[in-house]
Amino acid sequence: AQKITQTQPGMFVQEKEAVTLDCTYDTSDPSYGLFWYKQPSSGEMIFLIYQGSYDQQNATEGRYSLNFQKARKSANLVISASQLGDSAMYFCAMRGYDYKLSFGAGTTVTVRA
Amino acid sequence: GAGVSQSPSNKVTEKGKDVELRCDPISGHTALYWYRQRLGQGLEFLIYFQGNSAPDKSGLPSDRFSAERTGESVSTLTIQRTQQEDSAVYLCASSSRALDIYNSPLHFGNGTRLTVT
């Protein structure tokens, strides 16, 4: 079974600054994928970024980057140059051999002008 | 193209009644998932369908919950004898069957908000 831990229930960040959202995971699967999703107040789930367990490079997608430290079992999301539209709930998720995508409890990000 | 479609978007029902929630996945997506999200919480896995394989029902919370899927298309989630603790947003998601199953992101619908009074 997989377990995803997001220890920051809420964070405030100033517009144009960077913010790091923590995610640690626990799995016994040798191969797995790590995902981050954004959920605005509208409720939709928006896929942001993916990191494979065997990927050598940290994933990047525009202003999103994933700080993957396999030995520490962490997959932190970095949002650079925060915008007001980044205010949302962010979920870390993992998929292993059982194909289920298991989610963490989420972190609420509020961007201040 | 069209995304994952769920209906109804909102459903209010009385305790003890049965409800049926519908999900239309993205065309060509072989994998379909149902999740439950209680207010302010994370997503709780319910059930997973992959093609014609037997579904993974390990997340269904009780025998009041069941789900079906016709081939690789529409799925329905049925909750019998609804209870107040069933109140939540029910999210459906689909993904394609890539060579590497791990990197296929799930595409979510907008959910059905179920309120049991």
- Of residues B94, B87, B95, the one with CA closest to residue B112: B87
Residue B11, pLDDT > 70, answer yes
Q: How far apart are CA B20 and CA B13, in angstroms?
A: 11
Mutate to test the interface with B, among A6, A45, A89, A90 (most CBs of B within 10 A): A45
Residue B97, pLDDT > 80, answer no
- Considering chain B, what is the average pLDDT of its residues? 92
Q: How far is CA B109 from CA B5, B23, B31, B56, in A?
A: 5, 8, 14, 20
To the nearest whole Å, the CA of A86 is away from the closest chain B CA by 18
Average pLDDT over residues A8-27: 96
Residue B101 pLDDT = 61
Residues 6+ positions from A71 with CB-CB distance below 8 Å = none
Judge contact between B110 and B3, C-beta under 8 A: no
Residue B1, pLDDT > 60, answer no
CB-CB under 8 Å, B59 with A52: no
To the nearest whole Å, the CA of B17 is away from the closest chain A CA by 26
Please indicate if any CB of chain B lies within 8 Å of the CB of A68: no
Which of residues A77 and B50 earns the better pLDDT score?
A: A77
Q: How far apart are CA A68 and CA B45, in angstroms?
A: 24
Omega of the bond leading into B8 within 30 degrees of 0 (cis): yes
Residue A2, pLDDT > 70, answer yes
H-helix segments, chain A: none
- Using an 8 Å CB-CB cutoff, list chain B residues near A101: 33, 45, 93, 106
Q: Among all residues of chain A, which has the CA nearest to that of B9?
A: A43
pLDDT bin (cut points 50, 70, 90) of residue A60 is very high
